A and B are shown apart, each in its own frame.
Chain A
Amino acid sequence: EAGVAQSPRYKIIEKRQSVAFWCNPISGHATLYWYQQILGQGPKLLIQFQNNGVVDDSQLPKDRFSAERLKGVDSTLKIQPAKLEDSAVYLCASSPTGGWTGELFFGEGSRLTVL
């Protein structure tokens, strides 16, 4: 079974530029998450989708961050314009529908450096 796929793995941009990250969850997983992990910290949830609907985006900085999951499968996270403090690893995770086991399946992350 293929795992959660993310791209690009690494991205370096100047502040005020824009960037987009892509995630393809495990096939059949209805729930998709984007987490932000700043160096030395634990992951922080940015947004959670159930199919193509948003369940929780309370910690998403909506003035600069946006995310979509148009067909309930893959998802894109965009940052525009980027700030220095957005330097982090952006982790995508998915979990199956129905009986919740608590296990999230994570991708390897997209590391963003903002200069």
Chain B
Amino acid sequence: AQKVTQAQTEISVVEKEDVTLDCVYETRDTTYYLFWYKQPPSGELVFLIRRNSFDEQNEISGRYSWNFQKSTSSFNFTITASQVVDSAVYFCALRGLTGGGNKLTFGTGTQLKVEL
């Protein structure tokens, strides 16, 4: 069975602060993919990043960075110098190959509020 845990239900920060969203996953698959999606108030989930289980290289994209650590089954997401527009619910998701198709298992999400 696959499971994704996002222990932080809500985080509030002041603009320009850095913030890290935690994600811990469980899977029996040796090959799997991890994702982060953003859900703004409009409701549409927006893809942010994908990582496969063989690629532990961390990535930085503008103000976003991701830290994948297979040893601790974590895939954390950091926003540097947060902005009000970053306010949204962020979902971590997992897809294992044995599941077949494109079935994603989502975490419960972390509500990020960035205030002025």
Partner-B contacts on A (CB < 8 A)? 3, 31, 33, 40-45, 48, 50, 55-56, 89, 91, 93, 95, 100-109, 111
Partner-A contacts on B (CB < 8 A)? 4, 33, 35, 42-47, 50, 91, 93, 95, 100-104, 106-109
Q: Give bound CA distance, A43 to B91, whole Å.
A: 9
Q: Is the CB of A56 within 8 A of B100?
A: yes
Chain B residues with Cβ below 8 Å from A100 are: 102
Q: Give bound CA distance, A29 to B87, whole Å.
A: 30
Q: Is the CB of B106 within 8 A of A106?
A: no
Q: Is the CB of B102 within 8 A of A95?
A: yes
Chain B residues with Cβ below 8 Å from A43 are: 45, 91, 104, 106
Q: Is the CB of B44 within 8 A of A56?
A: no
Q: In angstroms, how far is the closest chain B Cβ from the Cβ of A72?
A: 16
Chain A residues with Cβ below 8 Å from B50 are: 101-103
Contact among A55, A104, A109 for B104, CB-based, below 8 A: A104
Chain A residues with Cβ below 8 Å from B33 are: 102
Q: Is the CB of A50 within 8 A of B101?
A: yes
Chain A residues with Cβ below 8 Å from B45 are: 43, 91, 93, 104, 106
Closest 3 A/B residue pairs (Cβ): A42-B106, A106-B45, A102-B50
Q: Give bound CA distance, A33 to B104, whole Å.
A: 11
Q: Is the CB of B4 within 8 A of A48?
A: no
Q: Give bound CA distance, A50 to B47, whole Å.
A: 21
Chain A residues with Cβ below 8 Å from B4 are: 42
Chain A residues with Cβ below 8 Å from B91 are: 42-43
Chain A residues with Cβ below 8 Å from B100 are: 55-56
Chain B residues with Cβ below 8 Å from A103 are: 47, 50
